[in-house]
Amino acid sequence: MSTPTPTTAYTPEPVAPSPVTPTRTPQRLGDRVFSGLSTGSGVLILVVLAGVALFLVSESLPLIGADPKDLPGGNGLLRYLGPLVFGTLLAAGIALLIATPLSVAIALFISHFANRRLARTLGYLVDLLAAIPSVVYGLWGVSVLTQFLKPANGWLADHLGFIPLFAGPPSATGRTMLVAGIVLAVMILPIMTAINREVFLQVPTLHEEAALALGATRWEMIRMTVLPYGRSGMVSAAMLGLGRALGETLAVLLVLSRTGAVTFNIISRDNPSTIAANIASQFPESTDLDINTLIATGLVLFVITFAVNFAARAVLARRADFDGAAG
């Protein structure tokens, strides 16, 4: 079989093949089968996504008529769910707070500060961070980072203890919400950096050159052209990172010491669990109604992450439309 390759002499622009559909295609059997198969695959994806929602809902239904005393915790579903949702949001919030400025800075470094050869290598390194399995992050977090940050926990309690976040007393093991948030931040950095980098690279060169030609320094150029242009991209990058952090399981499961306490004190030993970590720790030993309860919490997690991702993608899509209109 001969493989057609593009000729070297003539390299056409990569164009989306929109205008190629002939007006009157002869309907061959092969064409119909192939187009049916590929359309079917597209529809199948929608079915799978709907299936995820449906199965989770159907497995949560038995909870509706159930006696609150039979549920784990013995106080009904909402009392069980509340601390978990709180913990999930808190951990993800800390991660986002740390990762957002860092990812913008890293993306800027790669897109506008490093030279091109170096930038490509650095891009690989960031991708490598993305490829590391979460269980490995968890192992590293609990055995290296907790030890490394233990003095920091103590320092925060001593010097910033008047802020409720750092009220202490600092955990002796170092397995605190703060450290879990930092591990999550490291884990969501790559995806956020990747999107920010994409957006920063799309900034029209003319804008940048115009700013430089007016005598702007590099930083002024970035502030005047790159950051305003990339604003919506940075927002959606942050939201995608948030989505990742909300659903991350293993790192939290391994790093965080979970007691179920609802507190903003992020350096003590009493911490709320997160939805995902709670499912992973309870599921293997659960049966019957406990499983239904865990699946219901999973449904809540699914709805939250779906909403966050939906919003993020909507922002990105609108941005793409806008760019298209602007030419």
Nearer to another protein, 14 or 65 (CB): 14
- Cα dihedral sign for 54, 58, 63, 64? positive
What type of residue sits at position 106?
I
Is residue 129 within 8 Å of residue 106, measured between CB atoms? no
CB of 36 to another protein, least distance (A): 10
Kindly report the three-state secondary structure assignment for every residue of 150-180.
Answer: HHHHHHHHHHHCCCHHHCCCCCCCCCCHHHH
CB of 222 to another protein, least distance (A): 7
Nearer to another protein, 177 or 183 (CB): 183
Nearer to another protein, 5 or 325 (CB): 5
Radius of gyration, CA atoms only, the chain: 25
CB of 126 to another protein, least distance (A): 8
Nearer to another protein, 164 or 214 (CB): 214
For 291-324, letters b (16+ CB in 10 Å) and e give ebbbbbbbbbbbebbeebbebbeebbeebeeeee
3-state secondary structure of 5: coil
Nearer to another protein, 177 or 250 (CB): 250
| Structure-token pair, residue 184 | 């999550």
Rounded CA-CA distance 102/275 in Å is 26
CB of 164 to another protein, least distance (A): 26
CB of 104 to another protein, least distance (A): 8
CB of 269 to another protein, least distance (A): 18
What type of residue sits at position 221?
M
Nearer to another protein, 127 or 264 (CB): 127
